[in-house]
Amino acid sequence: MEHLIPDVEAVDRQPELLAIRKNLVGMTRKEIAAALVEAGEAEKAAKMRARQLFHWLYYRGADNFDDMTSISKELRAKLPEHFTVDRPEITNLQESVDGTRKWLVKFPDGQEVESVHIPEEDRGALCVSSQVGCTLTCSFCHTGTMKLVRNLTAGEIVSQMMIARDTLGEWPSPKGNRMISNIVMMGMGEPLLNYENVAKALNIVMDGEGISLSKRRITLSTSGVVPKIHQCGEELGVNLAISLHAVTDDVRDILVPINKRYPIKELLQACRDYPASNNARRITFEYVMLNGINDSPADARELVRLLKGIPAKVNLIPFNPWPGSNYICSSNNAIHRFAKIVNDAGYSSPVRVSRGQDIMAACGQLKSASTKERASARRTANA
Ligand code: SAH
Ligand code: SF4
């Protein structure tokens, strides 16, 4: 039993292991106040301090307590004993020839995700991850091949936005034009399988005293976790995007296997009932164009039939290949023939221009670089 006796000396040499400091990033105002009370602050003062901290964190983007000049010097000195406001580490930042940026973000447990910024002339969207990897295994998606999967915490989701704003110099929250004007929950992971954390993170991002991004500028993309769709519309009111990709259950079962649990009919009913959609805020149906699989004129006509009665627009995504993928992108002709049929039926159906191809930042290519490196190192070692 000797080995169970704690090694006091070793602990003494590493005092930082004794003090587990809480990270305030990802906490709501209420949670910050509760944490302050726990750290010895009086309840009334804690409420006021929490408002100040919330402002410094999410409006001004402070990444240390020293900068928080409206907070008394005394408290500023005490806060780091209990708390941190640390960002996760950026282990790689790449910029594409078209201006698209991709961050590889590493959390304290060593897990990594990617976030991507897609700039437009006077605005831009940040593509945010909700999980490390994804438990779903859509057959055309690189993220779905990752072995390790865990949910991100609300803090880890919000931090992706904070890091991107650090890089782009977008603090304090600008009133007018923003480089990060929109958020799309289209990075790694299935956001509705991590609903609680995603909801908390988006509520923080939407808070008018912080980052202050309108629900109209946030889009959540789901592969079709039907039981969570209504709740998402009711509680968050964000725009919805559905990864449809096929018009028959037979084909969709293969492309998006969660279809076996929630087939097309149920999914489309959830869309009809989505509380936050109307003619001004239509639901986006994403449709990846796969040669010979889902791209015929008959498929296009069936899509039109299925969407009847839903305020919808269609986003056609040319398939982005990745090392080892089994599909081929549809020809330009097939894509435009498909788009025309959908468009003639009255649905906007733009073909999504692939951005950041040269840095593997395009839709469905996200898979943390270090996982890829580890995998290729294994292949080399086995060779
Ligand atoms: N898990 C969520 C959100 C992340 S994926 C979802 O599936 O909706 C974002 C979009 O990229 C989805 O529509 C997804 O189906 C699509 N996608 C995945 N792999 C792709 C690839 N290789 N080429 C093009 N689009 C892809
Ligand atoms: Fe997961 Fe979306 Fe990729 Fe499917 S497409 S494996 S749901 S990230």
> Within 6 Å (CB) of ligand 2, which residues are found?
134, 136-138, 141, 143-144, 189-190, 223, 243
Residue to probe by mutation, ligand 2, list 145, 149, 223, most atoms within 8 Å of CB: 223
Domains 2-84 and 89-374 are alike in CATH topology: no
2-84 under CATH 2.60.40.1180, yes or no: no
Residue 189: left if φ>0, alpha if ψ -120 to 50, beta else—which one? left
Say which ligand is closest to the CA of 136: 2
- In sequence order, the 6+-apart residues with CB closer than 8 A to the CB of 335 are 289, 295, 316, 318, 351
Q: Residue 57 and residue 217: Cα distance in Å, rounded?
A: 21
pLDDT tens, residue by residue, 363-374: 666 776 555 555
Q: Is the CB of 314 under 6 A from ligand 1?
A: no
Pairwise pLDDT comparison (316 vs 17), residue with the higher score: 316
Query: For 146-154, what is the mean pLDDT?
Result: 92
Q: What CATH number should be reported for the domain whose range is 89-374? A: 3.20.20.70
pLDDT (average), residues 297-317: 97
Note if the bond before 172 is cis, omega within 30 degrees: yes
The domain spans of the chain are 2-84, 89-374
Q: What percent of the chain has pLDDT over 70?
A: 90
- 143 Cα nearest atom in ligand 2: 3
Residue type at position 239: N
Cα-to-centroid distance, 286 and ligand 1 (Å)? 8
The C-alpha atoms of residue 34 and residue 324 are separated, in whole angstroms, by: 49
* Sequence-distant (≥ 6) Cβ neighbours of residue 175 within 8 angstroms: none
Q: Which ligand is nearest to the CA of 286?
A: 1
- For the Cβ of 259 lying below 6 angstroms from any atom of ligand 1, the answer is no
Mean per-residue pLDDT, 331-341? 97
Q: What is the pLDDT of residue 363?
A: 67
Residue 163, SS3 per DSSP? helix
Determine contact, residues 367/189, Cβ cutoff 8 Å. no
Distance CA 225, CA 264 (A): 11
Q: Which residues lie below 8 Å from residue 157, measured CB to CB, with a gap of 6+?
A: 26, 128, 129, 130, 197, 198, 201
Q: What is the pairing mode between strands 218-222 and 239-243?
A: parallel
Span 74-96, pLDDT tens digits? 999 999 999 999 999 999 999 99
Closest CA to 338 of 241, 219, 224, 246: 246
What spacing in Å lies between the alpha carbon of 135 and ligand 2's midpoint? 8
Q: What integer pLDDT is reported at residue 228 of this predicted model? A: 98
Locate 383 and state its tokens: 């060779």
- Taking the C-alpha atoms of residue 171 and residue 161, their distance in angstroms, rounded to an integer, is 11
Which residues are CB-neighbours of 237 under 8 A, at least 6 positions away? 215, 275, 276
Closest approach atom of ligand 2 to CA 141: 3
CA of 137 to the centre of ligand 2 (A): 6
> Stretch 11-21: mean pLDDT, rounded?
53
Give the DSSP letter string of 136-152: S--TT-SGGG-S--EEP
Q: CB of 300 within 8 A of CB of 113?
A: no
Q: Which of 270, 340, 370, 368 is nearest to 310 (CA)?
A: 270
| Residues facing 284 on adjacent strands | 241, 313
Rounded to the nearest angstrom, the distance between the alpha carbon of 244 and the centre of ligand 2 is 11
- Among 317, 328, 329, 354, say which to mutate for ligand 1: greatest number of ligand atoms within 8 Å of CB: 317
Cα separation, 123 vs 167, whole angstroms: 15
Q: What is the mean pLDDT of residues 292-309?
A: 97
User: Residue whose CA is closest, atom 6 of ligand 2?
Assistant: 144
d(C-alpha 65, C-alpha 77), whole Å: 8
Say whether 349 sits in a helix, a strand or coil: coil
| Residues annotated as part of the active site | 114, 363
Can you tell me the mean pLDDT for 13-17? Answer: 46
Contact predicate 210/57, CB 8 Å: yes
| Ligand 1 geometric centre to CA of 8 (Å) | 50
Question: Please, are residues 82 and 18 in contact by the beta-carbon 8 Å criterion?
Answer: no
374/62: higher pLDDT = 62
Of the chain, the percentage scoring pLDDT greater than 90 comes to 81
